[in-house]
Structure 1
């Protein structure tokens, strides 16, 4: 791995730090504006749905104009949007900030395309594993930073997130070179900006199955991530500080697995089998979480979950990258991020529709649903593995 890879990984870490500062506080911050559970779920969804439309455009443009300028635009959007959200006087301004962050939020897919540009096919899974570990480290320090920011206010967490994204922006401008060697052909008309790829992606050989699989992976995961917070707060009787510590625990365990675990497992098993293992443990964990309303039990199941869950996304990213042509890396990974975004928009709404605020026990229902649906995703992945498993 050359130094530009490590610069990219560092930028990914800082970007992840910016994002994960928000995860423990979005639900509670929405409650400060007297939003219902369903309305609060829309704070998650508006970001994800706007990102769904923006990400393939950013991925397409990064194939055409280069990775660096698109990463700069995306990080700038994140910095501005989070400062707007953190200082929002009304719920409408808060929703606008979330929308702006989503519509410019293609930095993940662009960073993944950079990883594809500067790694060989043989090192691609390892590269995405290290990249995932950088993101995971953000999941460790992000909640810790959030915990400190919460001592001021929940809105301060958004402002700090924006400032962290600004640091990543400065690093991109001054430290990261352009990594795209062969740019895609220029557009034939002003409407050729990648939105058509949202449909075309479903007809791309091998890539289409992975996109569909990852859509369902994302949907089940965000059903969990939204339901987890009110379940932890209202059913287990915890507070925002212990909630933040739980996210820190998830990140710490994820870093360990993505740093050492991926490297060890990829030497012994192919990518598809590692993906199956991660999905199986994820689905089992979701179903076990609400079985017993006990904090120690819940934390133990979450430890098992976070250890193997961290295998899933790096394997999907690597499989998509290995099955895409070199000139389509940004487009394919942009599509992946885009379908994952719409999944992130669907999941919280499904979870919110299943719960009843006056009956806290219902906050466990989305967890059961997420587990059952993840088992179905596992069966889909197993049934289609011969289609997308790279020959090399």
Structure 2
């Protein structure tokens, strides 16, 4: 891995840190402004839906004008958006901040395109594994940083997140060179939202089915992420400090699996089988988590979940990259991020409709549903495996 790869991984880590500082407090921050569970789920969805419309355009523009300028714009948007949300005096300003962060939030897809630019096909699985581990390290430190910021106020966590994103922005401007080998010639309207590309992306051989698989797994995963925190606090009667320690465990296991784990597994089984393994244990964990409302039991299942869950996204990204043409890497990664974004918008709303604050046990219902649906996605992915990766055609 060359110098540019490690710079990109560092930027991904810092950006992940900025994002995960907010994960433990968005639900609580919405409650501070008097939002209901359903309204709070819409606060989650606002960011995701904005990303859905923005990321295909950002990916396409990065193919046309370069990775670096689009990454700069995305990170600058995060800085401004979190300043707005962190100093908000009304719920409307919080929604505005989340919307702005989403509409400029294409930094992940651009960073993935950079990884595709600078790594060869044989190194790509390991590269995306390390990239995922860098983001996982952000998941380790983000909640801890958030807990420290919350000692001042919930809004301070947004301000700290903005400061961290500013560091990533400075690193990008100063140290990251342009990695796009050959810009795509400009055609069409640059302000096109890319809705036609969203449909066309589904027709691309090897790419379309992976986009759908990632959309489905993203929907079920965000059902889990929305219900997870209130279940842990209200049903298991745990504190925010305990929640932070659990996030710390999740992040630590993700780093181990996406570095050492991926490098070991890929010498023994194919990328697509690693994805199947991750999906199976993610499904099983979702179903088992709410069976017994006991903290020791929950921690054991969470360890199983954190070991295998971190394998899913890097493997899907790897398969997408291997199936996409070199000149389409930015667009395909943008489409992938966009479909993930709309899934992130749908999942919390489904969970928000199911749960009832007056009956805390209902916070477990989205976990059961997420597990059942993820098993269905796994079955579909296995059945259709010959359609989306050349690697399995000879197996």
**TM norm. shorter chain > 0.5:** yes
Q: Which residue number in structure 1 is paired with residue 32 of structure 2?
A: 32
Distance of aligned partners of 1:191 and 1:105 in 2 relative to their CA distance in 1, 3 Å threshold: closer
Q: Distance in 2 between matches of 1:317 and 1:391?
A: 15
1:187-266 → structure 2 map (5 Å cutoff): 187-192=187-192, 194-266=194-266
Q: Which residue number in structure 2 is paired with residue 3 of structure 1?
A: 3
Is 1:113 aligned with 2:83? Answer: no
Q: Distance in 2 between matches of 1:364 and 1:158?
A: 28
Is 1:59 aligned with 2:59? Answer: yes
Residue 78 of structure 1: CA displacement? 0.4
Per-residue CA deviation, residues 134-188 of structure 1 (Å, 9 max, x unaligned), is 0000000111111111111111111100110000000000000000011111123
Distance of aligned partners of 1:51 and 1:192 in 2 relative to their CA distance in 1, 3 Å threshold: closer
Question: CA contact under 8 A between 1:319 and 1:390: conserved in structure 2?
Answer: no
Residue 194 of structure 1: CA displacement? 3.3
- Structure 2: which 5+ residue stretches go unaligned? none
Q: Distance in 1 between matches of 2:73 and 2:18?
A: 16
Residue 202 of structure 1: CA displacement? 1.3
Per-residue CA deviation, residues 194-219 of structure 1 (Å, 9 max, x unaligned), is 34211111111110000000000000
Distance of aligned partners of 1:192 and 1:154 in 2 relative to their CA distance in 1, 3 Å threshold: closer
Residue 20 of structure 1: CA displacement? 0.4
Q: Which residue number in structure 2 is paired with residue 44 of structure 1?
A: 44
Aligned partner of residue 266 in structure 2, secondary structure: helix
Between the two proteins, the alignment pairs up a number of residues equal to 392
Q: Distance in 2 between matches of 1:23 and 1:191?
A: 31
Q: Which residue number in structure 2 is paired with residue 75 of structure 1?
A: 75
Q: Which residue number in structure 1 is paired with residue 358 of structure 2?
A: 358
Aligned partner of residue 185 in structure 1, secondary structure: coil
1:1-392 → structure 2 map (5 Å cutoff): 1-192=1-192, 194-391=194-391
Question: CA contact under 8 A between 1:60 and 1:193: conserved in structure 2?
Answer: no
Task: Compute the TM-score of the two structures, normalised by the length of structure 1.
Answer: 0.99
Question: CA contact under 8 A between 1:57 and 1:195: conserved in structure 2?
Answer: no
Residue 191 of structure 1: CA displacement? 4.8
Residue 242 of structure 1: CA displacement? 1.7
Aligned partner of residue 179 in structure 2, secondary structure: coil
Residue 190 of structure 1: CA displacement? 4.5
Q: Distance in 1 between matches of 2:188 and 2:224?
A: 43
Aligned partner of residue 24 in structure 1, secondary structure: coil
- Structure 1: which 5+ residue stretches go unaligned? none
Question: CA contact under 8 A between 2:57 and 2:192: conserved in structure 1?
Answer: no
Per-residue CA deviation, residues 209-248 of structure 1 (Å, 9 max, x unaligned), is 0000000000000000000011011101112222222211
Task: Compute the TM-score of the two structures, normalised by the length of structure 2.
Answer: 0.98
Question: CA contact under 8 A between 1:283 and 1:375: conserved in structure 2?
Answer: yes
